[in-house]
Amino acid sequence: METKQDMLRKLPAIHKLVDHPEIRKWMDTDRISADFITQLAQLVVDDVRHGILNEQVQSITDDMIIRRLHHQIREVVEPRIKRVINGTGVVLHTNLGRAVLAEEAVRQIVSVARSYSNLEYRLQEGKRGSRHEHVEELIKLLTGAEAAMVVNNNAAAVFLVLREMARHQEVVVSRGQLVEIGGSFRVSEIMKQSDARLVEVGTTNKTHVHDYEQAITEETALLMKVHTSNFRTVGFTREVSLEELVELGQKYNIPVYEDLGSGVMYDLASKGVGDEPLIQDSIRQGADLVTFSGDKLLGAPQAGIIAGKKKWIDRLKKNQLARVLRVDKMTLAGLDATLRLYLNPERASREIPAIRDIVVDVEHIRQKAEQFVSMVEGHLAASVTVEEDVSEVGGGTLPAVTIPTVVVAIRPESMPVHQLERNLRYGSPPVVGRVNKDTFLLDFRTIPDEEVDELAHAVQQACRV
């Protein structure tokens, strides 16, 4: 057995690693310079040396170190954010990037990204403009709001509203609506950070109008309603409707703010999917301010959208945080293109992937699954069957709502199911699905027609590895 000193002496010189034929190939691709390869080689050798001294490495060879360096170079030169085939059936999969953008939005983003644009320039007047103008008119038209603005996500929108409207003052909210979403974002914590003072009313399962009214003082700046988009309370429950809250706010001259969270503009309930409140309904019912996400049920890029009464939106626009939280030209381009699709709801349901994949007919999903099975049958050491199942919308939206779907169940015979799952994740492109006991499931709700051929090839490759 080699001693530590023997192994340390065998560590190759950095220049020899850089000059190795397998490593020099990377320089020939023009993707990385010799200087950066030298830095990576040093890191690899340092890591191996550390492993030797800590008895984590028992033996070394030049080939082993070359392989490590090769892997390290590949890690930095290849894109870290990659296209993934989503076979989970979760339409708004937070870990997989949430809403897939419409082709119209992608084209608009690329057009704006690769050239100069009128981001803050009024072409008709030849004067400086505001980036808010590009989507504000569309949001007003689609929702009925008097004014609107956009920040970088809905958490930022909530923070800005609370900071501007209720700093060092009180915000009354139902105890049953103190939600927590992903990343430990809590309404109560964001309120603390905004320097607004939280006043909880009611109980976990029941809140009445008189609970809000009894909590109103001279320090009350906002009456807040939070849509519980990621959970439901059922049974012996009561919550105050937005109309009731608006009536109370008007009685005491206090603005009413509703955080819708996921935010939906297309009437999914008319298609039998959930009962999410529409943004335009909240505006129509009198909310002074409404906030919602861009990259969830709206199907747009990540953004926080604030819509409502002009006098309040004007205040928010003037807050110094509006610049801190502002969005870039690519976000605005994608949001603008997505919102324009909503001018024709039927077109929106066809061309916005988030909406399309939620309301798609189950028979179309079945056709894709059967096409896939016909392509792989007889080429896999596995049983492959088409089965009924259910999908979830995901992204902290439509809790307790499941949608009938069709999956392909793959039960490998030559390897454990976890190895198949791993092989697919490591593939190019990576494929992510679901594992249920000894079965790997691919839900074709989230697999577009154009990916079926590619997926069939990926599965065949994964079963051979």
Give per-residue pLDDT as tens, 413-457: 989 999 999 999 999 999 999 999 999 999 999 999 999 999 999
Judge contact between 266 and 351, C-beta under 8 A: no
- Give long-range contacts, CB 8 A cutoff, 24+ apart: 47-51: 48/11, 49/8, 49/11
Give per-residue pLDDT as tens, 342-377: 999 999 999 999 999 999 999 999 999 999 999 998
Distance CA 162, CA 181 (A): 18
pLDDT band with cut points at 50, 70 and 90 for residue 399: confident
Give per-residue pLDDT as tens, 184-222: 567 778 888 899 998 988 877 788 889 989 999 999 999
Give per-residue pLDDT as tens, 138-160: 999 999 999 999 999 999 999 99
Residue 272 one-letter amino acid: G
Bond prior to 345 in cis (omega within 30° of 0): no
Distance CA 138, CA 291 (A): 16
Distance CA 18, CA 27 (A): 10
pLDDT band with cut points at 50, 70 and 90 for residue 232: low
Distance CA 105, CA 96 (A): 18
Distance CA 33, CA 464 (A): 36
**The pLDDT value given to residue 285:** 96
Average pLDDT over residues 260-288: 93
Average pLDDT over residues 305-315: 97
Q: What is the mean pLDDT of the chain?
A: 92
Higher pLDDT, 178 or 311: 311
Classify 408 as helix, strand or coil.
strand
Higher pLDDT, 234 or 138: 138
Backbone angles phi, psi at 72, to 5 degrees: -65, -40
pLDDT band with cut points at 50, 70 and 90 for residue 182: low
Distance CA 382, CA 69 (A): 36
Residue (of 2, 315, 370, 271) closest to 149 by Cα position: 315
What residues pair up with 409 in beta bridges, in sequence order? 385, 441
298 sits in the region (left: phi over 0; alpha: psi -120 to 50; else beta) called alpha
Structure tokens at 417: 């199911």
pLDDT of 231 > 60? The answer is no
Distance CA 377, CA 361 (A): 25
**The pLDDT value given to residue 233:** 56
Average pLDDT over residues 115-134: 94
pLDDT band with cut points at 50, 70 and 90 for residue 264: very high
Give per-residue pLDDT as tens, 66-98: 999 999 999 999 999 999 999 999 999 999 999
* Residue where the block lists tokens 């809905």: 154
- Give long-range contacts, CB 8 A cutoff, 24+ apart: 313-321: 313/146, 313/147, 313/148, 313/149, 313/289, 314/147, 315/164, 315/165, 316/149, 316/160, 316/161, 316/164, 317/132, 317/149, 319/160, 319/163, 319/164, 321/159, 321/160, 321/163, 321/164
* Residue where the block lists tokens 């409502």: 308
Helix (H) or strand (E) holding 422: helix 417-425
Residue (of 140, 192, 199) closest to 163 by Cα position: 192
**The pLDDT value given to residue 193:** 87
Percent of the chain with pLDDT over 70: 96
Give per-residue pLDDT as tens, 9-30: 999 999 999 999 999 999 888 8
97 DSSP 8-state letter: T
Q: How long, in residues, is the chain?
A: 465
